Amino acid sequence: MKLFTNSSNIFPLLPSIVAFTCLIVSCSKEPIRETPVIPDPTDSTPVATTYEHGVFVVNEGNFNWGNASVTFIDNSGNNAIQDIYKKANDRSLGDVAQSMTVIGTKGYIVVNNSNRVEVVNLKDFKSVKSIDGFSSPRYFEAVDANKAYVTNLQHNISIINLTTNVVSGVIKTTSWTESLIHYKDYMYVTSVGSFSEPNSNRRAQIYVISTKEDRIIDSIQTGKEPLGMVIDKKEKLWVLCTGGYDNFEAPSLVRINPELKMIEKAYVFPAGQGVPSKLCINPTGDTLYFLNGGVFQMPVTSAGLPSQPFISSNGRLFYGLAIHPKNGTIYVSDAIDYVQNGRVLKYSATIGSKLAEYQAGRIPGSFSFTDSGKK
Amino acid sequence: MRKLHSYISLVGMFLLYCGSPLSIQSQSLIDTLHLAEFEVKSNYVLDNQGFKRVKLDSVTLLPHLNADLSTILTEYSTIFIKSYGNATLSTPSFRGTTAQHTQVEWNGINLNSPMLGQIDLSQVQVAQFDKIEILYGAAGLALTSGAFGGVINLVTVPDWNNRLNVMASQTIGSFDNYVTNLFVVTGSRKFQSHTKFNYLSGLNDFPYTDYQGNVVYQPNASFKQYGFTQEVFWQWKDHHMISAKVWYGRSNRNLPSIVEVYNPDYHEKQEDNTLRAVLEYKYVQRGYNLMVHSSLSDQFMHYSSPIVDARHQVYTWTNRARFTYNRIKKLTMKPGLDFSYDWAISEDYSGLKTRATTSFYAEIIYEISPAVKSSLIVREELIDGKFMPVLGTLGVEYRPFRKENFALTANALRNYRFPTLNELYWKISGNPDLDPESDLGGEIGSTYNRTTTNRNFFFEVTMSGYTTWIRNMIVWIPVKDNSSIWRPENVSQVFARGIEAGLNIRWEISGFHLGFKNNYSWCRSTYEKTTAENDRKLGKQLIYTPVNTFNSMVSIERWKFYLRYNFMFIGDRFTSPNNLSYMPAYNLSNIILGKSINLNNICLNLQVEVKNLFDLNYQSIASRPMPGINYAFTLKISFNRESKL
């Protein structure tokens, strides 16, 4: 049965079909990829010719969004350049940039969920090599000019040959290893315990690794989740333990004698008053800094934990903290809501007054300085 | 093994419910014979008492039997689909709200997971239903609460004229993707039975170009999925109708990582087993009728990766009763009662979590004058013994011209969404003190359709504008002073407003059947509350919410050939709440060309599809590649016998 009659012809419809087809074919050939809004109204517009002198802000980016980036603030302090890796290499840095370590003229960016370490030349930030073969890498620390260690969320500590930039071996562990610090012929590495276990079953400790033998030779038990580590001017090792992401126990700050491999003193934070993080030390090695809402300052000789912040957060979400290794300036990042682009704030070491504020990328989590005190 | 046991007991219950399994399927779904004779039928429901309802009929769905629900909604509605790739997670959102504000129902069973509050459309195949009804905004309150965006209602309907209809179809697509569909639909004027089976599998290793310009093949994206459905419809002594439906689905899939993850050993996968069973009884008398319906839903999900292994099991028992009374002139009253019970067993909850929801419902439709009709819906929910705020909507429809199909509509709404089980009970992070999200909305619209006197030209237009204010919106935010824990809090406010327009033309001319369907949406949905000092999202567009969406379909049919062209435009989507980065807009085009050959009662149909016709290199969600140009060939054989009327 026909609902319609054949009364006219098709031709009156043709112009609209043609117009419609034109509309469709006019699509662009550029790949559809995430794009920054240009001009970024909050971004200064400098042209840096080199990245050899300044501060790198490592923006983690959102897990599984592939939007990790590095922001560069040059030593003049006037300019912040966003996403310098993408600008130099025409590709995204990856997913979740955990940390960056400067060694000589090269930067080693640990990209956790991409499972890579991106090696760049500091001069132009061009990629030199992408090192593969990790198990969710976290932090990078050089042993000497030829060798470095990389901690992983799972399975092992990776050994990197710095000449060839490949994973040359592993030090087997069964746990999530986090920060590393080089002391004499040893590497001290914090170990949280097995990633997939609850905190009650996780064994928290510091591994003592012989850098000559690439072997764990000793361990020191600590509070749950030892994440941060520094060495002070008297060569004491300080370890900040969060107590567990689930507030399993009260957080603690412990002082360890690295020679005797023994805890000398433990400062326990009052329970239920926040979780301290991001332990740092000033260039002279006499003052500790950490985040616990605001920025806290504590002389290494202090008998107790500080009760008031040195810099209060004033409603900001302080997420990353670093102390300039030469001048002691305090760098703090504000992750805002973890989704929008964060900010970096710079404060004076002496009185904690705000010196500058910069735009950063998504979840600015850590910093790296070209003017490293070491090399 | 616990699973198997639960299935056996559910199947047992079903058999107790309905005795022998025999049932029905609408012929239109499976019979390509009728494709050429397209019906003049409006998409935009005219007599709507002030609420916007849009129908997608089986004729529209027919060439898409091998597709999933996300494809249909992208091509024929302005609902935005967040697609994480071919055949992987796809979630719907409309009118500037989120996936949790969109409810999907299949024959009266809510498909949204009570744990997540949303649904993955890639797991719902078009072959599972005959018709889609999209209830925008306030219209959704007739079915459920919490659907601030609206409800997508999927239904199967019996065709009492059918005697036997058997259909088998096989699709072979690019990237080793295959779809098999088998239908047996048989019955009498009193009884119809539907038996449906579908099987999908795919390597899904489509090529895409990475940042360096290298061609990479999508790894870890293969899937297998099958579904089995049995439906029975029985009319008894003219006044009684009983139907029973069971749908069992099983899916195993690898979940591809984003392009920036370079770990060949990192395999994520997900297994979903679902069983849905519903029994419905209707008693129809002059002046009143009664509907009661009871359903069981069993959803099991197993996600695993090298570092996470999680199993979740949810059972939901839902009961719905509606009484309709229209013996009083100009007045229809529909009181109702809903009761549902959720059981969730998850390693991520501490112990079994349950929720009991009782909902008192009343709908009153009153004809103020022959031109003005109004409808009032009131719903009061009692959740775990606690009374929630009263919800309601009032709609008015005005038809100023007696002889013209023109209607002006308006409605106002108060709605709320109760938190999901994850939001309440997730280990460590869950927040049992959450308040429900609330929504105040309003909408105006107009619909007009006209058929020419010789009936060879039909067109309809619709236009609507809406606003919606969501308060107490739940967002997962880091816990103060412990940023490693995120907890859902009632911290956000969103104001969404927009305009939707539709144009639908059908024309028969020189033996050609032409169709032209268009949908356009403009939507501004903005953050109205900041949560932190440096927060710069106030007044900015919600992430992954396009301002402009447009789609168009042109179809031509002649000599049992059919050609269908689908065009979609998805506008810019911001990826950061402060709107500093975005995914650029894109156009997509798909083409379907088919031919049916009839030999007595047998119909042979061959169909060729070209998707992403202009080979656009695009991503819908950042870092999730989508396939370039790809093809699918479908061969379908059906046998059809109808009663001689």
Mutate to test the interface with A, among B75, B84, B480, B482 (most CBs of A within 10 A): B482
Contact A337 B510 (CB under 8 A): no
Give B-chain residues touching A94 at CB under 8 angstroms: 260-262
Yes or no: say if B315 and B114 are a contact pair by the CB < 8 Å rule.
no
Yes or no: say if B550 and B569 are a contact pair by the CB < 8 Å rule.
yes
What's the pTM?
A: 0.85
Asked if the model's pLDDT at residue A244 lies above 90, the reply is no
Contact A9 B510 (CB under 8 A): yes
Where helices occur in chain A by DSSP H, the ranges are 14-25, 84-89
Asked if the model's pLDDT at residue B312 lies above 80, the reply is yes
Eight-state DSSP code of residue B212: T
The mean pLDDT value of chain B amounts to 87
Secondary structure class of B263 (helix, strand, coil): coil
Number of A to B CB contacts under 8 A, please give it: 208
Contact B567 A24 (CB under 8 A): yes
Residues B212/B213/B217/B220 CA torsion (nearest 10 deg): 30
Tell me the C-alpha to C-alpha distance, in Å, between residue A354 and each of A279, A312, A350, B272.
20, 11, 11, 53
- Nearest chain B alpha carbon to A272: B481
- Nearest chain B alpha carbon to A243: B482
Yes or no: say if B221 and B85 are a contact pair by the CB < 8 Å rule.
yes
Closest-CA distance of chain B to residue A374, Å? 31
Which residues make Cβ contacts (< 8 Å) with residue B196, sequence separation at least 6? B25, B127, B128, B181, B182, B183, B227, B228, B229, B230, B231
**Strand intervals (E) in B5-149:** 53-56, 80-83, 90-93, 102-106, 109-110, 131-136
Mutate to test the interface with B, among A1, A3, A93, A197 (most CBs of B within 10 A): A3
Yes or no: say if B202 and B176 are a contact pair by the CB < 8 Å rule.
yes
Sheet holding A205-210, edge to edge: A176-183, A186-193, A205-210, A215-221
- Nearest chain A alpha carbon to B310: A196
Total residues belonging to chain A: 375
Closest-CA distance of chain B to residue A65, Å? 6
Give B-chain residues touching A342 at CB under 8 angstroms: 534
Q: Among A27-36, B233-242, B626-635, which is the least confidently predicted range?
A: A27-36
Confidence of residue A23 (pLDDT cuts 50, 70, 90): low
Contact B581 A37 (CB under 8 A): yes
The model's pLDDT over B118-163, given as tens digits with 9 standing for 90+, comes to: 999 999 999 888 899 999 999 999 888 999 999 999 999 888 888 9
Closest-CA distance of chain A to residue B483, Å? 8
The model's pLDDT over B456-479, given as tens digits with 9 standing for 90+, comes to: 899 999 999 999 999 999 988 877
Confidence of residue B40 (pLDDT cuts 50, 70, 90): very low
Q: Which of B278, B298, B226 lies closest to B8 in space, CA to CA?
A: B298
Which of A5, A37, A274 has its CB closest to that of B456? A5
Tell me the C-alpha to C-alpha distance, in Å, between residue A123 and each of A58, A148, B464, B477.
17, 21, 57, 38
* Measured distance CA(A175)–CA(A191) in Å, rounded: 6
Asked if the model's pLDDT at residue A202 lies above 90, the reply is no
Asked if the model's pLDDT at residue B488 lies above 80, the reply is yes
Closest-CA distance of chain A to residue B382, Å? 33
- Nearest chain A alpha carbon to B577: A340
- What pLDDT was estimated at residue A46? 54
Give B-chain residues touching A25 at CB under 8 angstroms: 614
Q: Which of B259, B615, B548, B610 lies closest to A31 in space, CA to CA?
A: B615
Pick from A93-102, A188-197, B207-216, B299-308 the range whose average pLDDT is largest.
Answer: A93-102
Percent of chain B clearing pLDDT 70 (strictly above):
92
* Measured distance CA(A335)–CA(A343) in Å, rounded: 7
Tell me the C-alpha to C-alpha distance, in Å, between residue B453 and each of A3, A269, B36, B408, B457.
11, 84, 21, 24, 8
- What pLDDT was estimated at residue B556? 94
Q: Which of B496, B494, B498, B497 lies closest to B527 in space, CA to CA?
A: B494
Which residues make Cβ contacts (< 8 Å) with residue B594, sequence separation at least 6? B32, B63, B561, B562, B563, B605, B606, B607, B608, B634
* Measured distance CA(A149)–CA(B267) in Å, rounded: 26
Mutate to test the interface with B, among A1, A4, A69 (most CBs of B within 10 A): A4
- What pLDDT was estimated at residue A1? 36
Q: Which residue has the tokens 């399927």?
A: B25
For range B53-74, the mean pLDDT:
89
- What pLDDT was estimated at residue B333? 93
- Nearest chain A alpha carbon to B584: A32
- Nearest chain B alpha carbon to A64: B258
- What pLDDT was estimated at residue B4? 39
The CB density around residue B550, as the number of other CB atoms within 10 Å, is 19
Eight-state DSSP code of residue B491: E
Which residues make Cβ contacts (< 8 Å) with residue A101, sequence separation at least 6? A107, A108, A110, A139, A140, A141, A142, A148, A368
Secondary structure class of B320 (helix, strand, coil): strand
The model's pLDDT over A24-53, given as tens digits with 9 standing for 90+, comes to: 544 456 777 888 876 554 455 555 678 989
Confidence of residue A2 (pLDDT cuts 50, 70, 90): very low
Pair of tokens at residue B275: 């069983």
Asked if the model's pLDDT at residue A55 lies above 80, the reply is yes
Which of B457, B534, B618 has its CB closest to that of A32? B618
* Measured distance CA(B200)–CA(B39) in Å, rounded: 31
Closest-CA distance of chain B to residue A220, Å? 25
Mutate to test the interface with B, among A14, A29, A33, A153 (most CBs of B within 10 A): A33
The CB density around residue A327, as the number of other CB atoms within 10 Å, is 12
- What pLDDT was estimated at residue B482? 66
Asked if the model's pLDDT at residue B15 lies above 70, the reply is no
Secondary structure class of B192 (helix, strand, coil): strand
Domains and CATH numbers, chain A: 11-34+42-369 (2.130.10.10)
Contact B261 A245 (CB under 8 A): no
> Does the bond joining B207 to the residue before it have cis omega, within 30 degrees of 0?
no
ipTM above threshold 0.85: no
Higher pLDDT: A31 or A93? It is A93
- A:64-93 residues touching chain B, CB 8 A cutoff: 64-68, 90-93
* Measured distance CA(B642)–CA(B645) in Å, rounded: 9
Q: Which amino acid is at A275?
A: V
